[in-house]
Amino acid sequence: MGKITLRFLILFTPVFKRMGLDVRQLKLILSVKLTCDDRTVSQLFGSTGHKRKSGKYMSFFAFFMHLVVGLMVMMVALVIPDRLTGFGLGIATYSFLLAVFLINDFSSILFDTKDQYIILPKPVSDSTFMAVRILHMAVKLLNVAFAVSLPLVIYSGFEYGVLALLALVFSLFLACLVALFGVSLFYLLALRWLPLSQIKRAIAYIQIFLSLLILAGYMVVPRLLKIDALQDLTIAEEWWLWVLPSVWPVGWFEMVVGGLNSTTLALLFLSILFPFLAVFFVRFFLAKGFMDKIFAMGQAEVNVNEKKHKSGIWGKRLALALTRKGPEEAAFLHVWYMTGRSQKLKMQLYPTLVYVPLYFVFIFFMRGEEATLAEQYANLMETGRYIVVFYLASISLFGVLQLITRSEVYKAAWMYYVAPIKKDGEVISGALKAVIIKYYLSFMLLFAIVSVFMFGVSVVNDVLLATSLGLILTIVLALFAIRDYPFSLPEKATNNRSLLTGLVAGFMFLLAFLHVQIYKMENLVWGAAIALTLIAWLMFVYLKRENLVNAEQVEE
């Protein structure tokens, strides 16, 4: 795909030459970069941050994924009966998704530090180099914009004719500009208010947030579209739709399909005004040096005045309270800090975890399409089905356990091997305690509070029982499946332990089912909860006395 767009761009060769660019180098560098892109899938839509795939046909895969996103956009446009509102929201969604893509995938182009070592030492002029970056982004944006818009554009062509199709393409082009402006504004504000080093971090956080949002979107949007309130939505009556500049371009499409009226005219006027306002705003505020600063940011890898680190106080306090001095405490703090700071790890962790609160919300509010909220609530109370959510949290914890043994910098785990650790179970216990507190007990506490609020104090023993079972199975997994030091395996390492993890997860569901059967027998639940909590504690004591780690890796 990229190569086709590249050929299109090459049509502008005379213009590039007049700008003083070395077109031969430009083509060369760009085609190499596009080949590299071909072999790496998009960070956002292609995968949810798990293992990155690479291969010959990655760009086709990415194209397909963008088409799926395009279908979502089409769904938004078509599900609302009022055409103007539907298409308006569809185009706004399109613009939003492009902006997400821009921030997510463009940051990696803008801050590509590899260029410093590969291209800058070669005789390539600054202007050519800068043009490569801009064109590289343009090629990618055009690809995405094309793929995402395709379903809606094709539909409109068949439904409303060629003229409408062209009008929609123009509307989508304007929406593209809105996205570009939005992203520029984001960078502008970031550059103005944050030091260079912080911007990268801020972008990383936004990327994490966006990937969660997309994930939530996949789950929520189809259900949301069934809500009655959306069926009656019209642009004329909803003031908040007028505030979104990304809705305005729909005026062009509506002018062709529905003719002119006061609403269409207003939208047309706003959408024409927008580019002028945006250009004025950008020129006035961006002033000079925007690209220079962005460029500097790409270079600002070293010599950054990082903020002094005062985080980790909580980690230290908890470590002091919950672990024994020595290896257990060291491993606890190690896992606590790494999971809190490594952006890459967070990108992998959060999608695993986000399912838990999402399912929590779904089970409470989204089940049963016909029932009212009150009926659903009564149904949940009666069946005790909400208890299943308490078990889901532990299943996501199993995923986290697998993640914390792997790392990009797995060789840094050499410290564990050279240190005089009597029982490596202590290290594993420390690591387990850190993830259990951070990613399990915190969720369970939250669920407990919400559930007590919703269903009364009687759920306390249910939460306790589910938690103790979760802890026991976590330790079982640690004993049989997680026999490695924290972050000591390469990311791509495969082991045959996923089967066991799967089995344990399945078993967890069985336990949840059994729990639902007995949840009304309060005393039985209390008794089981207390006994199992004790067992969990004893298992921790046992774990610490074991030697679990296989030392074979040292020889590598």
Does residue 485 come out as left (phi exceeding 0), alpha (psi in the -120 to 50 range) or beta? beta
Q: Is 554 in the site for another protein (CB under 8 A)?
A: yes
Tokens of 423: 């029982």
Tell which residue, 425, 347, 424, 432, has the closest CA to residue 397: 432
The answer to whether the CB of 523 falls within 8 A of the CB of 399 is no
Q: Is 556 in the site for another protein (CB under 8 A)?
A: no
Tokens of 475: 């330790």
Q: Is 298 in the site for another protein (CB under 8 A)?
A: no
Q: Which is nearer to another protein, 423 or 497 (CB)?
A: 423
Q: Is 297 helix (H, G, I), strand (E, B) or coil?
A: helix
Q: Which of 262, 325, 492, 496 binds another protein (CB under 8 A)?
A: 325
Q: Which is nearer to another protein, 303 or 496 (CB)?
A: 303
Q: Which of 11, 117, 123, 306 binds another protein (CB under 8 A)?
A: 306
Tell which residue, 472, 460, 480, 338, has the closest CA to residue 394: 472
Q: Which residue has the tokens 């004719």?
A: 161
Q: Is 296 in the site for another protein (CB under 8 A)?
A: no
Least Å distance between CB 323 and another protein? 10
Q: Is 199 in the site for another protein (CB under 8 A)?
A: no
Q: Which is nearer to another protein, 122 or 309 (CB)?
A: 309
Q: Is 333 in the site for another protein (CB under 8 A)?
A: yes
Q: Is 334 in the site for another protein (CB under 8 A)?
A: yes
Q: Which is nearer to another protein, 391 or 487 (CB)?
A: 487
Q: Is 301 in the site for another protein (CB under 8 A)?
A: yes
* Packing angle, helices 262-286 and 83-110, rounded to 10: 20
Q: Which is nearer to another protein, 258 or 312 (CB)?
A: 312
Q: Is 425 in the site for another protein (CB under 8 A)?
A: no
Using the rule CB under 8 A, give the single segment among 34-42, 60-68, 328-336, 503-511 that binds another protein: 328-336
The answer to whether the CB of 200 falls within 8 A of the CB of 297 is yes
Q: Which is nearer to another protein, 212 or 338 (CB)?
A: 338
Q: What is the C-alpha separation between 550 and 312, in angstroms, rounded? A: 30
Least Å distance between CB 213 and another protein? 25
**Size of interface with another protein, in residues (CB under 8 A):** 37
Using the rule CB under 8 A, give the single segment among 133-141, 156-164, 332-340, 510-518 that binds another protein: 332-340
Q: Is 415 in the site for another protein (CB under 8 A)?
A: yes
Q: Which is nearer to another protein, 196 or 535 (CB)?
A: 196
Q: Which of 62, 330, 431, 466 binds another protein (CB under 8 A)?
A: 330
Q: Which is nearer to another protein, 83 or 200 (CB)?
A: 200
Q: What is the C-alpha separation between 390 and 438, in angstroms, rounded? A: 16
By CB atoms closer than 10 A (0-12, 13-18, 19+), residue 519 is buried
Q: What is the C-alpha separation between 22 and 16, in angstroms, rounded? A: 8
Q: Which of 24, 122, 243, 303 binds another protein (CB under 8 A)?
A: 303
The answer to whether the CB of 175 falls within 8 A of the CB of 73 is no
- Determine the distance from the C-alpha atom of residue 207 to the mean position of all C-alpha atoms in its chain, rounded to a whole number: 6
Q: Which of 417, 446, 497, 518 binds another protein (CB under 8 A)?
A: 417
Q: Tell me which amino acid residue 300 is.
A: A
Residues of span 4-63 touching another protein by CB under 8 A: none
- Determine the distance from the C-alpha atom of residue 137 to the mean position of all C-alpha atoms in its chain, rounded to a whole number: 21
Q: Is 490 helix (H, G, I), strand (E, B) or coil?
A: strand
> Which CA distances in Å does 314 have to 176, 384, 391, 434, 553?
44, 35, 26, 11, 33
The answer to whether the CB of 508 falls within 8 A of the CB of 473 is yes
Q: What is the C-alpha separation between 302 and 196, in angstroms, rounded? A: 11
Q: What is the C-alpha separation between 371 and 161, in angstroms, rounded? A: 41
Cβ-count burial 145-155 (b if 16+ within 10 Å, e if not): bbbbbbbbbee
Q: Which is nearer to another protein, 114 or 310 (CB)?
A: 310
Q: Which of 184, 197, 263, 495 binds another protein (CB under 8 A)?
A: 197
Q: Which of 421, 448, 543, 548 binds another protein (CB under 8 A)?
A: 421
The answer to whether the CB of 77 falls within 8 A of the CB of 87 is yes
Q: What is the C-alpha separation between 172 and 286, in angstroms, rounded? A: 25
Q: Which is nearer to another protein, 14 or 420 (CB)?
A: 420
Per the DSSP assignment, residues forming a β-bridge with 310 are none
Least Å distance between CB 193 and another protein? 21
Using the rule CB under 8 A, give the single segment among 39-47, 125-133, 208-216, 409-417 that binds another protein: 409-417
- Interface pattern 497-536 for another protein (x via CB under 8 A): ----------------------------------------
Q: Which of 18, 114, 288, 310 binds another protein (CB under 8 A)?
A: 310
Least Å distance between CB 251 and another protein? 48
Q: Is 457 in the site for another protein (CB under 8 A)?
A: no
Q: What is the C-alpha separation between 266 and 259, in angstroms, rounded? A: 13
Q: For binding to another protein (CB under 8 A), which residues are involved? A: 197, 301-304, 306, 308-310, 312, 325-327, 329-330, 333-334, 337-338, 341-342, 409, 411-412, 414-422, 487, 551, 554-555
